[in-house]
Amino acid sequence: MRSGSTAQRTTARNLTGAAAGGTLGGGVADSPARPVRVMPLGDSITAGMNSTGAAGYRDELLDHLHRLGHDIDFVGPYVNVWQPRGDPHYAAVPGISIQELTGLLPRWLPSARPDWLLVHIGTNNMYGPEHTDAPGFLRTFLETLLRLAPSAGILLASIIPSRLPEWQAHIDAYNRRVRETAEEFGRRGKVFFVDMAPALHASPQGGDDLSDLVHPNDQGYATMAAVWRDALHARLPAPECGPILDHNPHLRTPWLSEAAQQAPGDAPAFFPGWTNRGVHACPGRLAGLDNGSNAVGLVGTPGFLGISTRLATTPGRPVRVTFRARADTLAASGSRGEPADPARTFGIQADGHPRATVTATDDWRTWTYDFTPTTAETDLRFTPAARPGRGPLLTDVLAREAAP
């Protein structure tokens, strides 16, 4: 990792060579690495019921994987509108049973294209006499997963405990079958058993990892995140770079449709993990992206100051920011309707460092920005040029710290 020679040396340049897939002015669009697409799949426990911010284990898990250097994109048909800081997507329905979830898979999996599925399902089958049928339902569920996503890895978890002794007896019997089924299907595909149940403590008297009879509290969700982290990290390729410091590198948001650009103004929570100081929001497909990202347009309008994120940095340890940019030619037009020349420059700046200026081209290019932090927290800002009008599009901002 290249860094500035002093705390005040800051550079922005276009990546070159095979890793970047293009050079500035070379006329070749870049080919960014696709994040690992992870689908949290299940019921209300996966959805995050009773957790702060309704994110369940997902925010904590994303932070864990980022700190290990993994670029992760959560996928699924639902978004968490209260998302505190990370990727808001998931695939879970409160109250759903194994067989009901199986029926939704043909609608969800083809468009999501998951690389890994984190499966915690069966709790809602434990309440009545059908608990004895749950292992058979699980086999059908796995058969469906393997048919619809044959190349995906499946982490199949034992379900967490309950405070009610009768339900717990059903859960114990079911979890034994979950392990057996995972081992059997593991001989046919990438199916792995994750023993989640022993990690959480449940007591009829309370004072445990649950918020009610079956749902975790924040402590319980944090424990689930750690178990998922260990299981997934052990099976992902070793990262080639250091820890990722920003929570939402690909600008995922619960508020953006696929149809048109929007001007969210300075809505602070539009992009979880970012402080929105006035940008145009652009869905990935409209922006010509196919890696799970959205984009923002940096607008040269008074009061529109761009977008920023706060990084937890280590003083003296270099940070490299990679990001992608292109001119916003999607809706720009002149006074007579002819195509207008969009603004192409914008700034990037970390606290304590000079502002660097980037000039975007008409197609996506990958750039880097290197700095050495002097404090334990650093604001990273992208700001529009002084020229009025629509500025460049920006996406895929990965701030990586040098390995210790």
The domains of the chain, with CATH numbers, are 11-33+249-401 (2.60.120.260), 36-233 (3.40.50.1110)
pLDDT value at 247 more than 60? yes
Q: Between 148 and 189, name the one with better pLDDT.
A: 148
| Residue 93 vs residues 49, 55, 78, 128: alpha-carbon distances, Å | 10, 13, 9, 19
Rounded Cα gap, residues 29 and 23, in angstroms: 8
pLDDT at 335: 42
What confidence tier does 219 reach under pLDDT thresholds 50, 70, 90? very high
Query: Average pLDDT, stretch 43-59?
Result: 96
Q: What is the pLDDT of residue 130?
A: 87
Give the torsion sign (CA, 28, 290, 293, 237).
Answer: negative
DSSP structure string for 177-213: HHHHHHHHHHTTSSEEEE--GGGS---TT--SSBSSS
DSSP H or E run through 104: helix 98-112
Question: CB-based contacts of 361: which residues, under 8 Å, 6+ apart?
Answer: 24, 25, 326, 327, 344
- From residue 146, give the alpha-carbon distance in Å to each of 96, 211, 333: 20, 34, 48
Q: What's residue 340's pLDDT? A: 60
- Cα–Cα distance, 373 to 380 (Å, whole number): 11
| 8 A C-beta contact, residue 144 and residue 183 | no
DSSP three-state, residue 130: helix
| pLDDT for the residue numbered 95 | 97
Closest CA to 240 of 399, 397, 32, 68: 68
CA distances to 125, 182, 233, 283, 284 from 230, in Å: 27, 17, 5, 32, 31
Q: Given this model, what pLDDT does residue 29 score?
A: 57
pLDDT in tens, 71-85: 999 999 999 988 888
CB contact at 8 A, 62 and 226: no
Residue listed under structure tokens 């890696």? 291
pTM more than 0.75: yes
DSSP β-bridge partners for residue 298: 279
Q: Are 214 and 167 in contact (CB under 8 A)?
A: yes
Instruction: Please tell me the total number of residues recorded for the chain in this structure.
Output: 404
The reported pLDDT for the residue numbered 324 is: 93
Residue 53: count other Cβ atoms within 10 Å of its Cβ.
16
What is the pLDDT confidence band of residue 331, given thresholds at 50, 70 and 90? low
Would you say residue 301 has pLDDT above 70?
yes
User: pLDDT per residue over 361-376, tens digit each?
Assistant: 888 999 999 999 999 9
What pLDDT does residue 156 have?
A: 98
- Cβ partners under 8 Å of residue 77, min gap 6: 91, 107, 108, 111, 112
Could you give the C-alpha distances from 169 to 15, 51, 199, 301, 355, in angstroms and in order?
Answer: 58, 26, 17, 63, 62
- Asked which of 179-188, 321-330, 340-349 is least confident by mean pLDDT, the reply is 340-349
